[in-house]
Structures are given as C-alpha cells and as structure tokens.
Amino acid sequence: VVAFYAPWCGHCQHYAPSFRQFGAALAASGDALRAGAVSCTAEKKACSEFGVRSYPTVKAF
C-alpha cells in the first residue's frame, strides 16, 4: 500500500500520522503486506507513471 503525497499539502500532513500508524500495525502483524509513501515533489516521474493527480492518493499494489 503506497501513499503518494506532497509535503506542502495540508490534507497530506493531516493524514500522515494515521498512515504511519497503519504502516506500523502492518509491520507488527507479521503480514507480508507493507505500507510506504512517495513524495510527488521529489519523485515527480513515479507519481506521473502511477497516474497520481491529487494528494494524498493511496494505491495498493
């Protein structure tokens, strides 16, 4: 599960603590599912390739 975000985005800043808790819970569960985040400011090409048009965007792979 990947959260695509922009550091300047207020909605992203509000959402980040919940997503971090979600990621920690996944890691602690021993499940193979993992969570990560991609800054669309730093990784513009990746965000474009995955069709990210608004922030935050969460996709499961």
Give catalytic residue positions: 9, 12
10 Å CB burial of residue 54 (0-12, 13-18, 19+) is exposed
How far, in Å, CA of 5 to CA of 37, rounded? 7
